[in-house]
Chain A
Amino acid sequence: MSKVYNWQIARDMNYPYEGKYPERQFAAVFNINRCIACQTCTMACKSTWTFSKGQELMWWNNVETKPYGGYPQHWDIKLLNLMQKAHNRQDKTMTWSTDGEYNGMTIFEAAKKEKTKNGQSRVLGYLPEDSEWKKPNMGEDISPTKKTKKDKMGFITDPIKLPEHKSFFFYLQRLCNHCSYPACLAACPRKAIYKRDEDGVVLIDQERCRGYRKCVEACPYKKAMYNGQTKISEKCIGCYPRLEGKDKHITPDGVPVETRCMSSCVGKIRMQGLVKMQKDGLWAKDTENPLYWMVQKEKVALPLYPQFGTEPNMFYIPPRWAPRAYLTQMFGPGVEQAIDKYTAPSRELMAILQLFRAQQEVIYKFKIKKGPRIYDKEITLSDGSKTILDIYNDTVIGYNEKGKECVRTTVEEPMYERPNKHFNSI
């Protein structure tokens, strides 16, 4: 075991290998507040990468309804249970100190004294049963139409009744986190998993893999999957041909473009980037990068279950309406602050939020041209207090890898009124 620094838990931790960091890291931010779970991202990924025999139950990208849904079923509850038991046995607690340091054990540290069922000893994890991969939408708010009565002609006689949630729910967008300390990589006995130097994408070498499924067992997010047809494991590849700018149809300039799941988001809730890394594994200061601004400067987007210790690189703006205790367990101690930052955004953040899914190319730099104040509004913060927020119609400009402008938009959505000579012409 080596000592590595994990900034998400604000301390050193044990990891089976020495820390080695890419030049740039593939990262993304999801605004949970705006996701409608249309699953366009899910289908974009499925139709690009996992449509072959043996991949029927494989969803590298999925959107699940929290708190009940999960793919595979109950993945997070099961791992949290395992962690809780390990902490109880070792007389420790999964708590955070006030300065943001995690006092408990990560999945690497907890594994030291725990014997897992299948013998893998580097990472605390479990291997989901086959049936748990079968229903990716289980728990989603669905219409129970099969119970509807029909008359002799087959027409529905009862109105459709929808299930009513009693408490709260929100949609969680999930794909491989391309972690800085991947658990899949740590657990692989064949050393078939590697992290790319250029963009930090974690890949499984399909020729080295022998399908032992240790990665499936170890990945806390359950994003490594076993293909029963090829008998080897597979996972999200971060659409690396697109990151390399090899898709000439989309990018004649050969600059990195967003992955399929990101670029297909109709709700405009996703933004992807390639952030600059330092040699010590921290993000290099780059306040012109919209992801750096959101994750490091304003801390409005948080990692998923940072206490697992893998330093995931997908970040979430937490939903404003969900109970804070639940969100804190899921996103760590910065939840209140992140929600308040999102609820009453700075001028820069307001502008960055307009860049979500506004273009195909990965944005490396953003600039703001100040515009007029258009309105003010009263905002309710997470502690119930009120504040007045001024909104300005700033113009935000995004630049691609080559420094060329790839998007320009305004805070106030541009509207075009079609002349009436085209009335009803669609």
Chain B
Amino acid sequence: MVKKYDKEDPLEMKVMEIPGGDIEHQALVMAEEFRDMGTTKKELIQMFSSPYYAGLYMTYVQLGKENIENIICHVYNSINMIDRSQNEQSI
């Protein structure tokens, strides 16, 4: 059955897809944003696999578990903490 257009239906407009976007790039930048807000690696893996985080979950469904885990590992591995006892000279 084909449903007729219903302007009162809050889900109606979700069927239209805007072209463009790179799903891997989206997953990467979202992972970077959450990392920068202090989310831990373990928490972020859980968030990507939870449908309650719609944007993250969208990429998880489309790219698969393995790819998402690789992206998360890459994002967290790319941070290099400085040894605090030696950092005074780097001001």
Q: Which B residues touch A38, using CB under 8 A?
A: none
Q: Which B residues touch A321, using CB under 8 A?
A: 21, 25-26, 29-30, 55
Instruction: Tell me if A67 counts as interface (CB < 8 A to partner B).
Output: yes
Find out whether the CB atom of A162 lies under 8 angstroms from the CB atom of B54: yes
Given known pairs A67-B18, A166-B17, the reply for A138 and B87 (CB within 8 Å) is no
Point out residues on B near A: beta carbons under 8 Å: 7, 10-11, 13-14, 16-21, 25-26, 28-30, 32-33, 37-38, 51-52, 54-55, 57-58, 61, 78-82, 84, 87-88, 90-91
- The interface bits of chain A over 299-335 (1 if a CB of B lies within 8 angstroms of the residue's CB, else 0) are 0000000000000000000001111111000000000
Distance between Cα atoms of A275 and B82 in the complex (Å): 38
Find out whether the CB atom of B33 lies under 8 angstroms from the CB atom of A33: yes
Instruction: Tell me if A266 counts as interface (CB < 8 A to partner B).
Output: no
Distance between Cα atoms of A324 and B88 in the complex (Å): 40
Q: Which B residues touch A370, using CB under 8 A?
A: 91
Find out whether the CB atom of A168 lies under 8 angstroms from the CB atom of B21: yes
Q: Which A residues touch B28, using CB under 8 A?
A: 380
In the assembled complex, how far is the CB of residue A128 from the closest CB belonging to chain B, in whole angstroms? Answer: 13
Instruction: Tell me if A373 counts as interface (CB < 8 A to partner B).
Output: yes
Given known pairs A165-B55, A321-B30, A379-B32, the reply for A144 and B11 (CB within 8 Å) is yes
Q: Which B residues touch A140, using CB under 8 A?
A: 10
Which chain A residues in 352-389 approach chain B with CB under 8 Å? Answer: 370-380, 384
Residue of B nearest to A170 (CB): B55
| 27 A-B contacts (beta carbon < 8 Å) | A33-B33, A34-B33, A67-B18, A68-B13, A73-B7, A131-B7, A144-B11, A164-B58, A165-B14, A167-B17, A167-B21, A321-B26, A323-B18, A323-B21, A324-B20, A326-B18, A326-B20, A371-B91, A372-B82, A372-B88, A372-B90, A374-B84, A375-B79, A376-B82, A377-B79, A378-B78, A378-B79
Main secondary structure of the interface of A (DSSP, over half): loop
Main secondary structure of the interface of B (DSSP, over half): mixed
Q: Which of A167, A324, A326, A375 has the most CB of B within 10 A?
A: A167
Distance between Cα atoms of A323 and B25 in the complex (Å): 10
Residue of A nearest to B20 (CB): A323
Given known pairs A321-B26, A323-B18, the reply for A373 and B90 (CB within 8 Å) is yes
Find out whether the CB atom of B18 lies under 8 angstroms from the CB atom of A374: no
Distance between Cα atoms of A131 and B9 in the complex (Å): 13
Partner of A325, one of B13, B20, B30: B20
